[in-house]
């Protein structure tokens, strides 16, 4: 059951919020460790697959853990009180890993290999490649849970994994930059242009996939 956000009068930060930030800084270490664990798994899969099949399904990997301020803002938007104990259940994207693959087939291959590991549990999956978002965004999103072994306990931590091709990442990165520049106040035909360029990127992915299959 959600509890209402603690009200702070006079624009001052109250004791509950201060305590939240103190506990959160330590709590986020576990998410940092989860990201490092997942990155290691992906690097092993990449190197081993390349050795066996002479093809690396991963171009590069990036990661991030949300800043405390960003977590606080999102919890307020979701109507959650600033309480560290609510983060694990209330937010799925505190920690994130982005995997960039050469080809569309590699996206699904890496997702399958990752989900096949005995200590990785895939909780949710959203396939925006098969069904792109209205603006043209394409990517495969997974929410996975992995164990983090600490000195006195084991924590099972959720990490958001985004898998996309080079073309998908090119489009998504520039789309984000354009919207940030215009502060979301874009021309009327902007959405149509973005969707059109996303379609071009998808066609490029399909053609490169075809060339890859011909060579193999």
Beta-carbon neighbour count of residue 181 at 10 Å?
9
Question: Mean per-residue pLDDT for 128-149?
Answer: 96
CA 64 – CA 160 distance, rounded (Å): 10
CA 145 – CA 157 distance, rounded (Å): 5
Indicate the burial class of 83 (C-beta count within 10 angstroms; 0-12, 13-18, 19 or more). Answer: middle
Instruction: Give the pLDDT of residue 17.
Output: 66
Q: How far apart are the first and last CA of the chain?
A: 54
Name the one residue in this structure whose structure tokens are 């874009």.
186
Instruction: Give the pLDDT of residue 10.
Output: 44
Question: Mean per-residue pLDDT for 44-70?
Answer: 95
Q: Which residues pair with 101 in a beta bridge?
A: 165
Q: What pTM value is reported for the model?
A: 0.86
DSSP string, 121-151: EEEEEEETTTS--TT----EEEEEEEEEE-S
All domains of the chain in start order, with CATH: 14-215 (3.30.460.10)
Q: What is the chain's mean pLDDT, rounded?
A: 89
* Predicted confidence band of residue 34 (pLDDT cuts 50, 70, 90): very high
pLDDT per position as a tens digit, 164-195: 999 999 999 999 888 776 665 667 788 888 89
Question: Mean per-residue pLDDT for 73-88?
Answer: 83
Task: Report whether 119 contacts 145 (CB < 8 A).
Answer: no
CA 171 – CA 162 distance, rounded (Å): 14
* Predicted confidence band of residue 2 (pLDDT cuts 50, 70, 90): very low
pLDDT at 3 exceeding the cut of 60: no
CA 212 – CA 204 distance, rounded (Å): 12
- Which of 139 and 179 is assigned the larger pLDDT? 139
Decide if 36 is catalytic: no
* Predicted confidence band of residue 146 (pLDDT cuts 50, 70, 90): very high
Instruction: Give the pLDDT of residue 59.
Output: 97
Percent helix, strand, coil in the chain, to 5, is 55, 20, 30
* Predicted confidence band of residue 86 (pLDDT cuts 50, 70, 90): confident
CA 108 – CA 127 distance, rounded (Å): 10
pLDDT at 8 exceeding the cut of 50: no
Residue tagged active-site, from 59, 69, 160, 193: 160
Task: Tell me the two tokens of residue 169.
Answer: 């990442």
């Amino acid at each position: 059951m959600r509890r209402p956000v603690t009200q702070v009068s006079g624009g001052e930060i109250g004791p509950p919020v201060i305590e939240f930030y103190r506990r959160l800084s330590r709590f986020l270490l576990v998410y940092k460790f989860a990201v490092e664990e997942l990155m290691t798994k992906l690097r092993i899969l990449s190197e081993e697959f390349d050795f066996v099949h002479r093809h690396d399904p991963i171009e590069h990997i990036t990661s991030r853990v949300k800043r405390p301020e960003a977590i606080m803002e999102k919890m307020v938007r979701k109507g959650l009180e600033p309480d560290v104990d609510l983060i694990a259940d209330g937010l799925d994207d505190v920690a994130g890993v982005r995997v960039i693959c050469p080809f569309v087939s590699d996206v699904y291959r890496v997702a399958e290999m990752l989900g096949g590991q005995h200590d990785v549990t895939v909780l949710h999956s959203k396939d925006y490649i098969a069904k792109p978002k209205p603006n043209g965004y394409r990517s495969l999103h997974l929410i996975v849970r992995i164990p983090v072994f600490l000195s006195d306990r084991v924590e099972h931590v959720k990490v958001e994994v985004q898998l996309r091709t080079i073309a998908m990442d090119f489009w998504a990165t520039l789309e984000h930059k354009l919207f940030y520049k215009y502060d979301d106040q874009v021309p009327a035909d902007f959405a149509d242009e973005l969707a059109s360029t996303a379609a071009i990127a998808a066609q490029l992915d399909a053609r490169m996939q075809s060339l890859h299959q011909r060579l193999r």
